[in-house]
Amino acid sequence: MPTPQKLPIVYVRGFAGDTAGIDKAVTDPFYGFNEGSTHIRIGPDNEPNFYQFESPLLRLHLDEGYQILVDGSQAIYLNSHATIPPESIWIHRFYDVSASTWSGRPKEFRMETAATDLLTLIDTIREKSGAPRVHLVAHSMGGLVCRCLIQKILPDLGRDPAECVGKLFTYGTPHGGITFDFGFGMLERLRDAIGVNGGQIFGPEHMYRYLTPESVADPDGRPEGWDPCEMPPDRPFAFPHDRVFCLIGTNPADYDVARGLSAAVVGPRSDGLVQIDNAYVPGAHQACVHRSHSGRYGIVNSEEGYQNLRRFLFGDREVKVALVGHRLPQRQDMAWQAEVGLSVRGLQIVMHERSSAHWCPVQLRDGTRSVTAGGRPTEAVTDADGAVPLVDTFLCSNLAPPGDTSTMRYALHLRILSLRESNGLLNFGDHLEQTADFDDILVVDVGADGATSVPALSAVWNSAISGSIRDYRPGSHARDDENPGTDSWVNHIELPHTAVPLVGADARLRLTVTPWR
């Protein structure tokens, strides 16, 4: 399989707030993309171990051979060089003109202006690098700047965004705006009316204006039921959902202490600023990580964020896992949830994690669909078997751990839990807290040879492995392709017999592996 082409990367930072916040943001030469983190974890004998994440900027230098090119400024470098390498990182410094430290007459920040300036930067980079497109990597509001470019600015110019943007990766972007957990909408209306620190840009009226091209905009304003999360696929020049990845933070507790009021107002189902239900584009790739919006345990300066970013941009295979064919026990007073966690051999973090403790379990419906607590489907379900998406991730065949390059090993932790209700309230009469009705780990080994699109794959449940998982070697658990003759590799894996009383004898985990470039 050919190695994916390295494209220039443009980083777009998030919201800085008022003038004081903007003045602070522009003092950073890389707008925060260079910030790393340190923390500890418990190791042997309960001793704390130090862990260091260098920053996405440095890691892309070290792991993927990227450069950041500065000669007094990146703008000066671009102006003084006729050619630049494609393997380069560029910072969209859209806030500079709005800083009072730059001049005595700072310009008011406007989303459309930031998006238009981003297009100018992209066109310059493409011309001088010879790269057909650039990748956009954005934190928070930066993802909305990118969507304004993709959904409004480029279509209004009659240009196809897919011809200049390769992939869009967002960290903690409020795709659905920023809403609050109480106040019955009054706090949002007050914010949007008086524009507290410029926060009105996260309200639906403003979002409709900068996410809707003039050719389809309703002259009477935002239509009823309009959803800002949507990137409509039926519009002219629609950007493919397959080229968008939304990383969702699920840890409100570790948001900056000084911003603790924000976490309290937004609510627990959030990263401290952006609610989980607002943090993704329906139909796009997504993963949940237990990280906060920013700060010491922020989503950008995290190993979890970087590993998802790296595999999405440079991976060569996509793997999807869905629960299909399940039939839950028919009880009006019973609700069902699934918890999932995806671990990769050689990494010290969990790539994707949805759990009750993190306020984001997968809500199961009887063979129909998976929904969020807010009611929006996590993914459109078109399969007759009512697929419930569990994992959507990417593999890099060149990232097999040193000393064992025969396979890439992944572990999918699956737990199924039941909750009993009575008159709309949870009934704890026969409840065992944090105890799942089903709990097992699917160990998947994928051939690390990237020369072929058809993987050699084996899968076995941990309950069938004797001894340590690390000592297990795939042998008799090889899986055949149920979809031969195409690029898509498919196999349905039976659940252990202990799960049959819960999900039925026909329940399977469907693994789908396809080439990714």
Question: What pLDDT is stored for residue 500 in this prediction?
Answer: 94
Question: What pLDDT is stored for residue 334 in this prediction?
Answer: 83
Whether the predicted pLDDT of 194 surpasses 70:
no
* N-terminal to C-terminal alpha carbon distance within the chain: 9
DSSP state of 152: I
In this structure, of 240-249, 444-453, 476-485, the range with the lowest mean pLDDT score is 444-453
Q: What angle do CA 503, 504, 508 make, to 5 degrees?
A: 75
In this structure, of 21-25, 278-282, 314-318, 421-425, the range with the lowest mean pLDDT score is 421-425
Whether the predicted pLDDT of 180 surpasses 80:
no
- Is 199 exposed, middle or buried (CB count within 10 Å of its CB: 0-12, 13-18, 19+)? middle
On the CB side of 334, how many CA atoms lie within 13 Å of its CA? Answer: 15
CB 417 within 8 A of CB 336: yes
**Mean local confidence (pLDDT), 152-181:** 95
| DSSP three-state, residue 176 | coil
Cα–Cα distances in angstroms (integers) from residue 378 to residues 163, 175, 281, 361, in the given order: 28, 14, 9, 11
Nearest-angstrom CA–CA distance, 245 and 71: 32
Contacts of 21 (CB under 8 A, 6+ apart): 197
Query: Which residue did the predictor score with more confidence, 374 or 18?
Result: 18
| Per-residue pLDDT reduced to its tens digit, 462-487 | 999 999 999 998 877 788 999 887 78
| Per-residue pLDDT reduced to its tens digit, 53-64 | 999 999 999 999
Percent of the chain's residues with pLDDT above 70: 87
Q: Considering the entire predicted model, what is its pTM?
A: 0.92
Q: How far is CA 210 from the centre of its chain?
A: 22
Question: What pLDDT is stored for residue 156 in this prediction?
Answer: 97
Contacts of 195 (CB under 8 A, 6+ apart): none
Closest by CA to 280, choosing from 304, 249, 306, 248, is 248
Whether the predicted pLDDT of 123 surpasses 90:
yes
What domains appear along the chain, each with residue ranges and CATH number? 9-314 (3.40.50.1820), 320-515 (no CATH)
Closest by CA to 10, choosing from 149, 108, 106, 206, is 149
Nearest-angstrom CA–CA distance, 58 and 35: 9
How many other C-beta atoms are found inside a 10 Å radius of the C-beta of residue 341? 18
**Mean local confidence (pLDDT), 403-413:** 78
DSSP 14-64: ----SHHHHHHHTTSTTTTTT--EEEEEE-GGG-EEEEEE--HHHHHHHHH
Question: What pLDDT is stored for residue 406 in this prediction?
Answer: 66
Whether the predicted pLDDT of 508 surpasses 90:
yes
Question: What pLDDT is stored for residue 384 in this prediction?
Answer: 47
Query: Which residue did the predictor score with more confidence, 160 or 378?
Result: 160
Q: What angle, 0 to 180 degrees and rounded to 10, lies between the N-to-C axes of helices 56-64 and 303-314?
A: 40
Question: What pLDDT is stored for residue 326 in this prediction?
Answer: 92
Whether the predicted pLDDT of 382 surpasses 60:
no
DSSP 64-123: H--EE--SSSHHHHHHH-S---SSEEEE--TTGGG-TTT-SSPPPP-HHHHHHHHHHHHH
In this structure, of 243-247, 293-297, 320-324, 503-507, the range with the lowest mean pLDDT score is 293-297
CB 438 within 8 A of CB 498: yes
Whether the predicted pLDDT of 398 surpasses 80:
no
Question: What is the rounded average pLDDT for all residues in the chain?
Answer: 87
Question: Any alpha helices (H) in 319-386, and if so which ranges?
Answer: none
Question: What pLDDT is stored for residue 185 in this prediction?
Answer: 63
